[in-house]
Each structure stands twice: as structure tokens, then as C-alpha cells.
């Protein structure tokens, strides 16, 4: 067993008798009376500090309740502002679950068919260059088997300070449409759609574009009206200009042994990674996922969509990937997970179905996936 995990697990075991059953917590999230504060606060901050992570937000969700939230370190090594519950982190790959929930909501309303060709919903065509008659569906996009590839060098050239430019529909058309200025046939795998697994941020952004095409409004506006409002997201969203004066975590990256602050950035396909949100808001989305599409008196999708959400979609191409998230293990615990690293951020959300509990972690630095996985293991082990 990892030495740090063994040491911290023994520490938690010594305190386990102190755990009490958490009281019910109202969906609007008043101050939680956490049974985990005494167990976790010290170990989490110790690991964060030892690893060199500038700032961290950590939370535990059990059923409908947020039962632990902890905030550690600073939003920037330059200004030293303390991370708190109002701090907005860039959610990175966790952002993809917003697009997933949006697509499931439209499927529940009968507005989209997950297995229809996405061209039925667009006023332009996405066609595989070798298999132009093959269907490219929303199910494929969310499961990363659409054959669409990310050109990492080209995508990096579109990263910019501030909010994204150009409009992400324009970017997608230039990237994927045969007449587009950025198009080359190698934007697609040589295999037929549905046959090969390859994670694609462009595919997630394309699924979000289908949502806005069907609904006739920008994806960011659709999210505010149909998802964020129901989850009680106050000052969260996709664009820096919309955050006002809230406390925003600054990205950092490792350069040699140093951790260096970076500029707040964006890129055109923002639905794939640029949700700017805090821990409490993200916990509400995770609670909705854990409660089969419901949060408080809001229902975002139904039982049929929930069954699709928790089913591996193309097991012959990837035995883990479901819609938006994937099945994995944390230590020896089977979990559903969404997350990873973006430019200057690391974020993970885990769901343990056996405990009906989840862990959410945001760090304002890239290169710390192993450390956050260790923290998530500790936190899940603390849940009785």
C-alpha cells in the first residue's frame, strides 16, 4: 500500500469512533455540521502542502446531502488570496458532465434521439471522410467513439487569455466541415464511427452545439436557464466576464520543481472544460446525478436516461466509458469518475454507488492527479 495512504488511513481509523450520523441538510446548503471535519481537515491540508498544491477545495456528498466541505491554500501564489467556498475553479474535464446532463434532459423531453445522426439537428454536415454514410450520434460523442480526433497542437494555438474567441460553432465548422478552413481528413480516425475509443474534447463541444442548435439559443444561455438555475448556481458559468468580482482561482503549472502561476485562459470549445464553478455548486450537480436526475424539487431527466448514464455504452471499444463519465476503481472501490487535468487545473469527481456517496476535488494546478486520487481514496475510506 502507498506509504502516505497507509499512514493517513491509520490516522483516520483512530478517529473513526468520533463519527456521528450526519443530520439532514437542506438542498440550499446551509452550513453543514460535518462529521468529517475532525477526521479530514488536517490530513488533507498536510497532503496538499507536502505535494505543493497552491489551492484546493474538497467535498463529500452523501445522498442528497453535502456532508463535508474543506478549503485549503491560496487562489494564487502571487496574491495569496485564501481559497474559500466562494472561490470559482475551472472544472476542466468535469465540465463534460454539464453537456451530458443537457443531452439527457433533451432526450427525456423527446427533442433528441441519442442514436440519430447529429446532422439531423445541425444546419451543416459532419461526415466521416472514409465512411460518409456512417452515423455519428450523440451517444457516440458522449462515449468518445465518434472517430473525431483532437489535434492537440492546433487546439493549443487557440488558447488565449480572457474569454474564448472565435465563437465555438464557427470553430467546430472550420474544424469538422469539409469546406472548413481548419479541416483535414485526419480530423477523424480511419476506423468507422463506433469502432474505436479516443477521448475527444471536440466531440464533447459538438454535443453541446447540438443542444444549442435544437433549442435555438447559445449553449451557455441554455445552461443558465435550464440547468444552473435549477441547481442554484449563483455566479457560475462559462465565461470570465460573467463572474463579476467573485474570487477566481488562478491556474498554475509545474516548471521543473517550481509551481508557477499562469494567466486565466480560455479556448473556443468551452463546454469541454471551462465551467467556472465552486465546490457547493458542483456538489448539487453531483447530487442530481446520484439521485437519478433529481435535485430538491427539480428533475432534469428520467429513469430511462439514468439507466443509460450508468451503463458502459460500447464495451467492445472501451470497457469503462459510459455517457460523459467512466467506470473505474479507486483503490479497490468501484466508482464512477469524471475529471482529469486541463491547463493549470486538476479536478475529479467520484461516485461510489455502494455507499451512494461521492467525492469532489478541485486544485488550481496541473500535474497533481496522483495526489488528488490519493486524497479521494482517503475521503471515500472515511465514509462509513
DSSP 21-74: PPPP--TT------SSHHHHHHHHHHHHHHHT-SEEEEEEEETTEEEEEEEEEB
The predicted pLDDT at position 236 comes to: 77
Strand arrangement, sheet containing 55-62: 65-73, 55-62, 357-363, 345-352, 333-342, 326-330
Burial of 21 (0-12, 13-18, 19+ CB in 10 A): exposed
In which element (H, E) is residue 236 found? none
Please tell me the distance from the alpha carbon of residue 58 to that of residue 139, in angstroms, as a whole number. Answer: 31
Burial of 163 (0-12, 13-18, 19+ CB in 10 A): middle
Which overall architecture, per CATH, does domain 3-382 show? 3-Layer(aba) Sandwich (3.40)
The predicted pLDDT at position 152 comes to: 95
Three-state DSSP state, 154:
helix
Please tell me the distance from the alpha carbon of residue 189 to that of residue 35, in angstroms, as a whole number. Answer: 49
Contact criterion met (CB below 8 Å) for 72 and 65:
no
The predicted pLDDT at position 32 comes to: 60
**315-to-130, 197, 312, 323, 370 alpha-carbon distances in Å:** 24, 10, 6, 12, 26
Spans of all domains in the chain: 3-382
The end-to-end CA distance of the chain, in Å, is: 21
**347-to-178, 341, 351, 373 alpha-carbon distances in Å:** 35, 6, 14, 10
pTM metric for this prediction: 0.90
Q: pLDDT tens track of the chain, all 384 residues?
A: 455 555 555 545 444 444 444 434 444 566 666 678 888 999 999 999 999 999 999 999 998 889 999 999 999 999 999 999 999 999 999 999 999 999 999 999 999 999 999 999 999 999 999 999 999 999 999 999 999 999 999 999 999 998 887 689 999 999 999 999 999 999 999 999 999 999 999 999 999 999 999 999 999 999 999 999 888 876 678 998 888 767 899 999 988 889 999 999 999 999 999 999 999 999 999 999 989 999 988 899 999 999 999 899 999 999 999 999 999 999 899 999 999 999 999 999 999 999 999 999 999 999 999 999 999 999 999 997
Contact criterion met (CB below 8 Å) for 18 and 39:
yes
Neighbours of 370 (CB within 10 A): 11
Burial pattern 262-293, b for ≥16 Cβ within 10 A else e, equals: bebbbbbbbbbbbbbbbbbbbbbbbbbbbbbb
Residue whose entry in the numeric block shows the C-alpha cell 498544491:
53
Sign of CA dihedral 92, 289, 239, 138: positive
Contact criterion met (CB below 8 Å) for 206 and 214:
no
Residue 46 preceded by cis peptide, ω within 30? no
Please tell me the distance from the alpha carbon of residue 59 to that of residue 40, in angstroms, as a whole number. Answer: 10
Amino acid at each position: 500500500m502507498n506509504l502516505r495512504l497507509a499512514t493517513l488511513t491509520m490516522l483516520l481509523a483512530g478517529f473513526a469512533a468520533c463519527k456521528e450520523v450526519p443530520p439532514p441538510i437542506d438542498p440550499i446548503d446551509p452550513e453543514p455540521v460535518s462529521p468529517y471535519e475532525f477526521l479530514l481537515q488536517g490530513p488533507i491540508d498536510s497532503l496538499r502542502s507536502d505535494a505543493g498544491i497552491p489551492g484546493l477545495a474538497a467535498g463529500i456528498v452523501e445522498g442528497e446531502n453535502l456532508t463535508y466541505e474543506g478549503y485549503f491554500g491560496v487562489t494564487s501564489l502571487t496574491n495569496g488570496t485564501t481559497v474559500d467556498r466562494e472561490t470559482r475553479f475551472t472544472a476542466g474535464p468535469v465540465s463534460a458532465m454539464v453537456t451530458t446532463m443537457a443531452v439527457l434532459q433533451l432526450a427525456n423531453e423527446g427533442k433528441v434521439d441519442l442514436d440519430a445522426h447529429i446532422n439531423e439537428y445541425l444546419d451543416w454536415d459532419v461526415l466521416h471522410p472514409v465512411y460518409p454514410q456512417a452515423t455519428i450520434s450523440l451517444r457516440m460523442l458522449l462515449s468518445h467513439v465518434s472517430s473525431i480526433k483532437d489535434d492537440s497542437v492546433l487546439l493549443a494555438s487557440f488558447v488565449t487569455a480572457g474569454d474564448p474567441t472565435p465563437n465555438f460553432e464557427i470553430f467546430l465548422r472550420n474544424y469538422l466541415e469539409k469546406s472548413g478552413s481548419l479541416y483535414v481528413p485526419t480530423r477523424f480516425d480511419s476506423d468507422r464511427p463506433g469502432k474505436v475509443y479516443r477521448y475527444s474534447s471536440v466531440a464533447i463541444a459538438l454535443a453541446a452545439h447540438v443542444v444549442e442548435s435544437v433549442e435555438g439559443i447559445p449553449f451557455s444561455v441554455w445552461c443558465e436557464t435550464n440547468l444552473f438555475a435549477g441547481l442554484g448556481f449563483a455566479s457560475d458559468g462559462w465565461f470570465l466576464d460573467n463572474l463579476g468580482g467573485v474570487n477566481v482561482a488562478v491556474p498554475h503549472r509545474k516548471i521543473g520543481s517550481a509551481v508557477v502561476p499562469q494567466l486565466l485562459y480560455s479556448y473556443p470549445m468551452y463546454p469541454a472544460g471551462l465551467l467556472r464553478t465552486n465546490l457547493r455548486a458542483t456538489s448539487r450537480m453531483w447530487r442530481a446525478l446520484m439521485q437519478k436526475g433529481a435535485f430538491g424539487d427539480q428533475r432534469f431527466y428520467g429513469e430511462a436516461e439514468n439507466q443509460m448514464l450508468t451503463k458502459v455504452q460500447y464495451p467492445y471499444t472501451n470497457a469503462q466509458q459510459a455517457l460523459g463519465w467512466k467506470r473505474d476503481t479507486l483503490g479497490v472501490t468501484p466508482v464512477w469518475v469524471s475529471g482529469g487535468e486541463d491547463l493549470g487545473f486538476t479536478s475529479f469527481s467520484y461516485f461510489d454507488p455502494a455507499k451512494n456517496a461521492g467525492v469532489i476535488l478541485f486544485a488550481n494546478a496541473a500535474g497533481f492527479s496522483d495526489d488528488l486520487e490519493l486524497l479521494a481514496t482517503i475521503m471515500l475510506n472515511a465514509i462509513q
